């Protein structure tokens, strides 16, 4: 079942209003205020949409308002039944410090087609399109995965570019990559854009290889699925998080999720820039109005486009 194209503009409006809300806090060194600045307008817009919407990926679980929490119902109609993944502000740090790559993002599928995962860490490897299905496996380890990828892409290992989230927890991955003379492109935050750097016209990277947020993993998977890219993820859960995962129906805590396990069927994905970034330009304050830019995908309609909209203040 496809998602009606009339919804695309409505969801774009939700991320654009969120981006405007967050943009008021750019450079203000207040991550929490910036996040709330995005959440409130996103919720208000989503609640206007004629749908029976349900948050399956959010910033918290069960009634954790003011965040858009997992299980929250959105919209004003009984149909269509849609599942929504939200990250009202991806890059709270970027926003607080006025750095590039902050954006407001969401993904939408029909009911039951998006993995509902708790807000925990997720190990992730992501690669682009035109590659054999389920080519890589987290349990292969870094060295084997890199060798398999080089062979599948018919590239020299030293020509492969790997995107890594700069964190001490990745020291071992980095050590192996360096020993193999692979090129490493670090990001300091924002691994939705990191994962998406493996697809597009001239992909910046051949693979993303790091542990970041689980919600960000599912959101990135939604976008990747529109390109034919691949991702494999595994949640990283402590005991308390295992209980939270259980409540969302997850029983196998070691499960490796391939892209088809995270996302099925039609997808709408919208990312509106707060600050300038790889996916979209940031919000521009034009005095009496805002100019907002959104990178949007609608899988079934083959839409992959940058939208620009003006909002009166």
Examine residue 119 and tell whether it contacts ligand VTB (CB under 6 A).
no
CB of 138 to ligand VTB, least distance (A): 16
Nearest to 89 by CA among 163, 28, 47, 48: 28
Q: Rule CB under 6 A: which of 238-267 touch ligand VTB?
A: none
Distance CA 44, CA 86 (A): 13
Question: By C-beta, is 52 or 64 nearer to ligand VTB?
Answer: 64
Assess 91 for contact with ligand VTB (CB under 6 A): yes
Sign of the C-alpha dihedral computed for residues 63, 13, 305 and 81 taken in this order: positive
Interface segment toward ligand VTB; rule CB under 6 A; list 15-23, 41-49, 210-218, 252-260: 210-218
Q: How far is the CB of 214 from ligand VTB (least distance, A)?
A: 8
Rounded Cα distance, 121 and 170, in Å: 13
Burial 133-157 (b: 16+ CB within 10 A, else e): eebbeeeeebeebbebbbeebeeeb
For ligand VTB, the binding residues in 157-196 under the rule CB under 6 A are 167, 189-192
Near ligand VTB by CB under 6 A, which window of 32-40, 42-50, 144-152, 208-216? 208-216
Measured CA to CA, the distance from residue 67 to residue 158 in angstroms comes to 43
Q: Would you say 131 or 270 has its CB closer to ligand VTB?
A: 270
Q: Exposed e or buried b for every residue in 180-194, given b needs 16+ CB within 10 A? A: bebebeebebbbbbb
Closer by beta carbon to ligand VTB, 82 or else 196: 196
Name which of 3 and 115 has its Cβ closer to ligand VTB.
115
3-state helix, strand, coil in the chain (%, to 5): 35, 30, 35
Interface stretch with ligand VTB, choices 1-9, 106-114, 211-219, 244-252 (CB under 6 A): 211-219
Q: Please report whether residue 90 would count as binding ligand VTB according to CB under 6 A.
A: yes
- Pick from 35, 59, 61, 216 the residue near ligand VTB by CB under 6 A: 216
Contact residues for ligand VTB, defined by CB under 6 A = 90-91, 167, 189-192, 212-213, 216
């Amino acid at each position: 079942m496809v998602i009606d194209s009339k919804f695309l503009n409505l969801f774009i409006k939700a991320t654009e209003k969120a981006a405007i809300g967050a943009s008021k806090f750019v450079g203000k060194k207040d991550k929490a205020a910036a996040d709330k600045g995005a959440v409130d307008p996103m919720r208000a817009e989503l609640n206007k949409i004629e749908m029976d919407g349900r948050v399956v990926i959010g910033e918290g679980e069960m009634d954790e308002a003011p965040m858009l929490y997992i299980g929250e119902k959105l919209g004003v109609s009984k149909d269509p039944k849609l599942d929504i993944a939200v990250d009202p502000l991806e890059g709270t740090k970027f926003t607080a410090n006025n750095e590039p790559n902050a954006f407001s993002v969401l993904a939408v599928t029909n009911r039951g087609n998006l993995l509902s995962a708790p807000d925990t860490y997720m190990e992730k490897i992501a690669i682009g399109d035109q590659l054999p299905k389920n080519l890589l496996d987290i349990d292969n380890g870094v060295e084997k995965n890199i060798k398999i990828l080089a062979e599948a892409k018919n590239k020299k290992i030293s020509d492969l570019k790997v995107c890594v989230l700069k964190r001490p927890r990745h020291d071992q991955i980095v050590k192996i990559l360096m020993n193999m003379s692979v090129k490493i492109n670090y990001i300091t935050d924002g691994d939705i854009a990191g994962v998406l750097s493996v697809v597009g016209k001239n992909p910046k990277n051949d693979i993303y290889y790091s542990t970041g947020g689980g919600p960000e993993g599912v959101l990135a998977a939604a976008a990747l699925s529109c390109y034919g890219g691949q991702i494999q993820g595994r949640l990283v859960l402590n005991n308390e998080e295992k209980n939270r995962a259980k409540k969302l129906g997850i029983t196998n805590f070691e499960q490796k999720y391939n892209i088809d396990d995270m996302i099925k069927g039609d997808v709408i994905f919208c990312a509106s820039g707060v600050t300038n970034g790889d996916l979209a330009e940031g919000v521009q304050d034009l005095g009496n109005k805002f100019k907002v830019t959104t990178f949007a995908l609608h899988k079934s309609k083959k839409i992959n486009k940058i939208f620009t909209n003006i909002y009166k203040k």
